[in-house]
Every structure is written in C-alpha cells, then in structure tokens.
Amino acid sequence: MRKSITSAVLAVCILLSANSVFALNLYNYTTKVELYLNDEGWSEKGLETYKSERREEGFIPEDEIPAEDWVTLYSADGRTMKTVYFLVDTYKNLGWTLAKPVTMYASDGRTVSVLESEVEDYKKAGWYVNSEVTMYSLDGRSVSVPISEINEYKRAGWYETKVTPVTMYAPDGRTLSVADIEVEDYKKVGWYEVPVQTLYAPDGRSAVFAKTEVDTQLSVGWYTEPFVMMLSSPLLELRREVRFWPLTISTSLSRESQ
C-alpha cells in the first residue's frame, strides 16, 4: 500500500561532488513535477540541516519514500534510471522504457539496442538476439557457432532449428532425405512423401499413384508402361505377270495400289 504523502516534494538522488556541492532532484507529489537544484550555498549548512529545513516545507528525504513509488526505466543505449511513478509517462515520451532494452546482433558484427517490442521486427530483418546460435543437422547433431558463420553452415546442410529427416520419393524411383521444414518445397517440384509410380491410360494420359493404389488402378484399365496403338496393315502382295514378246515382266502390286 502506497504511503499517503500530501504536500510533499521528494528529495532524491543526493550527490556529493568533490567540492562539496549538493545536487538534488526534487519531486513534488502534489504538482507532479521534477525540479533540479544545484547551489553551492547548501553545503555550508550541512546535509542534515538542509534536509531538516526542506522537511518543514513539505520535502522528505529519499530513504523515507515507499519502495513501491520507485520505477526503474531503461534507455536504448543501456542506461538506467529510477524515478517516481507519476513521471513515468514523461520519461517514456523522451525515449525511456519500462522494459529493459535487448541487444541485437547482425552477422556482419554490428549490434544495436532495441525495445523488447521491436525484437521480432529485427529478427525478421535478419538480426539475432545472441552473438552465437545453435545449428542442427539431419542426423541429430548440434553445434554452437558465431552468427557470422551461419550461412556457411547452411550451405553445408545445417539448419537454425531442430529438424526431423523425412524421406521423399520421386516417380522414377529416386529417394531423398530432407528436413521436415523442406517437405512442402519438395512437393511443389514433384516429390512425394510416399512411394509412387507413374501409370498410363490407353488414351495417352499418365498419372502418378501411390504404390499402394497401383493394383487397384491396373484393374480399371491403367498400365505400367505407355500404351502404344500398333496400327499395322500388312501389305498384300499380288503378283501379276504381263507377257511381252520376247520378255516376261513380273510386277508386284499392293492392295492400296490396285
């Protein structure tokens, strides 16, 4: 429960410099404003005397402020600060945030501090939340590598997420082991998740069927080989002799030529 404070201005963050000059941030609970004061004359009175005088005017020292009134804020460049709860929005408008900034890493060595709400957008643009990532292979191995080496590992068949090997089948009998995250891409270029076979229809059509369906398709008129119409018309040889004196000429005529 927040302690009731009326007509009080909070004296916070008292700093003592080398020349004994006091610098204070004063917070007013009533007007909800912050005032920065720095006066060498304060040091002559002594800290306790000054605090006593300010208490009479409604100010209270930092160590008497309820802990729940303090809020930690973060900047994108890694700085932190504490302020009272009623000034949070003021500082948020100046770029401070309640969430601790996240450092993002690029494969070329760059780093940047971003708000937690921006992390996903940066990841989509190719940034990483760690300077190293774990790469996975199809055979279950894993290895931690610097992000600068990710593309090299990808070219060698490694993946950024855990993968499960899946056997793909081609109609010509070939097989291939691919990652489960690649299955849909291979299906788009003619590979299948089950053994398949190409069958042929008498009208020239062809289709790919799962091998478990082949016998059924053969029973309804499909074939395992391309269907070729053998249209042959044997030539009927007719021998006719035409006699001329003194030479006999034999001619052969096909049915089509008669």
pTM of the predicted model as reported, rounded to 2 decimal places: 0.48
Average pLDDT over residues 201-229: 89
- Say yes or no to pLDDT of 16 above 60: no
Mean pLDDT over residues 23-51, rounded? 60
Q: What is the pLDDT of residue 82?
A: 86
Model pLDDT for residues 64-100, shown as the tens digit of each residue: 778 888 889 888 777 888 888 878 888 888 888 888 8
* DSSP of the chain: -PPP--S-EEEEEEEE-TT--EEEEEEETTTTEEEEEE-TTHHHH-HHHHHHHHHHTTEE-GGGS-GGGEEEEE-TTS-EEEEEGGGHHHHHTTT-BSSPPEEEE-TTS-EEEE-GGGHHHHHHTT-BSSSEEEEE-TTS-EEEEEGGGHHHHHHTT-BSS---EEEEE-TTS-EEEEEGGGHHHHHHTT-BSS-EEEEE-TTS-EEEEEGGGHHHHHTTT-BSS------------EEEEEE-SS-EEEEEE-GGG-
Query: Looking at the predicted structure, is the pLDDT value of residue 226 above 90?
Result: no
Rounded average pLDDT over 174-178 = 94
pLDDT of residue 39: 55
Give me the chain's average pLDDT, please. Answer: 75
